[in-house]
Every structure is written in structure tokens, then in C-alpha cells.
């Protein structure tokens, strides 16, 4: 559970560094980190997209074997890759843009 919280904190830090606006950063982080908002939309592509958001991926990571999360099956390895990507990609992009903007 703590790994998903660390990944969420790193994602929020990366988004906050990229956007440089408190309101936009909080809105973007909550939209991505809370899939309950998107679960009300009953389109097939939205349901498959929700399964690759951090919260369902972390629940698949915490269960044993493949878990059915919001319309798609994620294995333990796939959920680990999804969580790592949500942690690493925003931090890497934010580091590059911060270096370019404030160099």
C-alpha cells in the first residue's frame, strides 16, 4: 500500500512541477488518482482506461494473481509497470522542463 502512496506523491510532484499552478495541479492529480469520478461513464473505452489508472492498478498489485479491476484484467507485473510509469514519467518530464525553464 505504501508503494502506491509513494507513486501518487511522485506523480503529484511531477504534475505540480510541470503545471506550476496549485489549482491546476490539484485538479489534474485528483482526476487521475481518483477513478471513481470516471467510473460513472459507461463507455467501453473509458472503462478500459480506468483500469490503467493508479488506484485500480495498485489494487491489482496488492492482490495475488490476476485481478479484475474496473473492466480489464491486470496481472501483478502489469500493475507494477503501470504504477512505476505513473511515478517515473511525470518526474522525468518535470525535471527536463524545469531544467530548460530555469536554466
Instruction: Identify the domain containing residue 63 by its residue range.
Output: 2-101
Residue 2 has pLDDT above 90, yes or no: no
Q: Which residue has the higher pLDDT, 27 or 71?
A: 27
- Taking the whole predicted model, whether its pTM rises above 0.85 is answered as no
Please tell me the distance from the alpha carbon of residue 76 to that of residue 78, in angstroms, as a whole number.
6
Q: How many domains does the chain have?
A: 1
Biggest CA-to-CA distance, the chain: 46
List the grid coordinates of 29: 492529480
pLDDT average, residue stretch 15-22: 91
Amino acid at each position: 500500500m505504501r508503494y502506491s502512496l509513494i507513486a501518487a506523491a511522485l506523480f503529484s510532484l511531477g504534475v505540480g512541477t510541470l503545471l506550476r499552478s496549485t489549482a491546476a495541479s490539484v485538479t489534474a492529480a485528483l482526476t487521475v488518482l481518483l477513478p471513481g469520478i470516471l467510473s460513472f461513464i459507461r463507455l467501453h473505452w473509458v472503462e478500459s482506461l480506468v483500469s490503467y489508472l493508479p488506484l485500480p492498478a495498485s489494487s491489482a498489485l496488492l492482490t495475488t494473481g490476476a485481478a479484475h479491476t474496473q473492466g480489464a484484467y491486470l496481472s501483478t507485473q502489469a500493475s507494477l509497470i503501470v504504477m512505476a510509469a505513473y511515478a517515473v514519467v511525470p518526474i522525468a518530464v518535470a525535471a527536463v522542463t524545469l531544467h530548460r525553464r530555469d536554466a
